[in-house]
Structure 1
């Protein structure tokens, strides 16, 4: 335990009050909609955050790497969905988790991987639970709900002795919208596509116990989830500027920030130079294509108060450029003297968190607890 004043900069801060509020908001919504909630833990990759989600009512977790699965399993969580199509060379690691007692679920979206999982499972006398990934918005991977490959993959899994666990989808294109009407529409598209895929499987006599959907914008926008059994979402716990632009959180909901110190000025340019460059913030410029461009992050005072008009407009590896949007601030040296400590809200919480070995978790009395986070694949 330490204090905010004692932290060296740059440092990744989590406001625990905002974090808890965000977690409770999402869980209450899922409870109201009548579905189980399986949070995606790739955003924080932090046992403390995940335990808070489980304490609020989450059941199971979603991971994006096998290393996350291994480390969260070691921390006591057994119900884990690995929500990235598995490369065949990773099957021995997945098998090792199964043999230790992990209730690991894999996903596939093609017949070749399904066949390889079946062959590997039979060769090692193992039964993998596999879900089929459905593409409901053309955003990334998965197969269309009405594609013939859906039934072919399910039959391949069943014939090889694997467990056909269900289907899952992720409406990642929801990040491209910013009105409540558009978000409700994409949430319904996600739901309907997933339910259609499940219906086709069941009509063909194939099992589909789980219908899993999710992204933070659709989870917070869906009007109903008829036919869905569970929802997944991740960035909601911390939120970020991209989510603010999408319209699902306010600036004071963003629980992650980077503490930084003013180390210099370029007065003629209206710049204050800080010690948080892209190595602290990441290079993610996700707000650049949205309605409001926050540069590399929104500037706040050390206590978290937003400084309207001031952003991290540029970033080198270890230097950040703080400036005013539009009119040059020629009083920048007096406004932000050397040694001034500030917080920067990030564009993308997942990417910014990944730049740091741990989080400084701020409690209401400004004391700080150090929370570990996971790295790697």
Structure 2
């Protein structure tokens, strides 16, 4: 363990991450689909380079800033997988004029008309995907809704329909292999049905894009699908462990913190890693702000993390009331916290301190935030 780091610090276990990369890419290759990872989890060029080297075909982003950063890093095929709105069209236009193959997402006739009009006015033809709601989790058009044909019809002149896209976010609520497989099949079949409706209506629909980490790792087949997207698999987290698609020892990031004090009468160990270091995402709520591990990353189940202030983590000793926590966890000792939600925790930090898979000095990989 590197004990010279100022804490809290975001650690990345490179060996675990590379195993996660290989696992997902191998599965996509076996299923015969292209893989377009969602890079909002890492927002890190060094991480994404490794995903691309493993065989990914393009990337998925959640902000135009991500699109710009990764385009500058040499990635030229990007899906912006959040519904486009008018005040972002000029930014998208600039990226396209600079040479980026950018695909936009929308879910309404009104926005389809605006995108097509904006493209025609500025002499470009936007590639557009229609978002499909396959699980009632978030946004999108129902796969059998006739408005799909109206949206496609509005994509004329300055826009063209490239395909359909869905995200089975409801898979995060599953926790058995059978439920995950059923959700993966629901996601696949309903997105394919939307593509079929469009094709039967006379519209080209070349791309059928599905994805979430749980469904990508649970699908039994992907007939009719052309690409899969997944993001959190790169690091995994406690929610994914609870869902059942990873184990604790596959989680690649953790927050290193330092014990700064105690409240022995309360059974509390106080650290410098509060919710600003972890995020306020409580996941499924039974891990508190994350799973506590020792400095080497081994879980310490006796310590709960149910209370946090902005810069203070308050860990609760939950076993053997006679244990002297001041001796067991002395001031200055290191602990590591496995995050509930890797994307949210990583967003609290400006860089990764990388535990290299081949030993040696620990490099620092920058990441970015914002929009």
1:258 is paired with a residue whose SS is: strand
Matched, 1:232 2:229: yes
Residues 76 and 362 of structure 1: is their aligned pair in 2 closer, same or farther, counting only changes over 3 Å?
same
In structure 2, what is the Cα distance between the partners aligned to 1:321 and 1:244?
Answer: 23
Give, in angstroms, the shift of residue 160 of structure 1.
3.1
What residue ranges of structure 1 are gaps of 5+ in the alignment? none
How many residues of Structure 1 are paired with residues of Structure 2 in the alignment? 370
Alpha-carbon deviation of 1:326? 6.3
Are residue 268 (structure 1) and residue 262 (structure 2) matched? no
Once the two structures are superposed, the pairs formed by residues 88-167 of structure 1 within 5 Å of their partners are 88-157=86-155, 159-167=156-164
Q: CA deviation at 1:224?
A: 0.4
Aligned position for 1:304: 297
Cα drift, residue 6 of structure 1: 1.9
Query: What is the correspondence of 1:212-361 to structure 2 with a 5 Å cutoff?
Result: 212-288=209-285, 293-325=286-318, 328=321, 330-361=323-354
Query: Cα offset for 1:374?
Result: 1.4
Shift in Å at residue 123 of structure 1?
Answer: 0.6
Is 1:53 the counterpart of 2:51 in the alignment? yes
SS in 2 for 1:160: coil
User: 1:286 is paired with a residue of what secondary structure?
Assistant: coil
2:363 paired residue number: 369
Aligned to 1:64: 62
Cα shift readout 1:139-184 (whole Å, capped 9, x = no counterpart) = 0000000001111101110x33412110000000000110000000
The answer to whether the 8 A contact 1:268-1:330 is kept is no
Measured in 2, the distance between the counterparts of 1:130 and 1:272 equals 52
TM-score, length of structure 2 as denominator length:
0.98
**TM-score (normalised: structure 1):** 0.96
Structure 1 residues 329 and 28: CA distance shift in structure 2, 3 A: farther
Q: Deviations over 1:211-236 (max 9, x none)?
A: 00000000000000000000000000
Secondary structure of the 1:314 match is strand
Matches of 2:169 and 2:82, distance apart in 1: 14
2:233 aligns to what SS in structure 1?
A: helix
Report if the CA contact (8 A) 1:242-1:287 is conserved. Answer: yes
| Contact 2:123–2:158 (8 Å) recurs in 1 | no
Deviations 1:183-206 (A, max 9, x none): 000000000001000111111110
Give a deviation string over 1:232-274, Cα, whole Å, max 9, x none: 0000000000000000000000001000000000001111000
Cα offsets for 1:323-358 (capped at 9, x unmatched):
234665752111101111111000000000000011
- RMSD across aligned positions (CA): 1.2
SS at match of 1:90: helix
Q: Pick from 17, 20, 24: which aligns with 1:19?
A: 17
Q: 2:118, 2:158 within 8 Å by CA — same for their partners in 1? A: no
Q: Is the contact made by 2:257 and 2:272 (CA closer than 8 Å) also made in structure 1?
A: yes
Contact 1:269 1:330 in 2 (8 A): no
8 A Cα contact 2:117 2:158, kept in partner: no
The answer to whether structure 1 residue 81 and structure 2 residue 79 are counterparts is yes
Instruction: Tell me, in whole angstroms, the C-alpha distance in 1 between the residues paired with 2:302 and 2:40.
Output: 31
Q: C-alpha displacement at 1:5, in angstroms?
A: 2.2
For residue 90 of structure 1, report the CA deviation from its aligned partner. Answer: 0.6
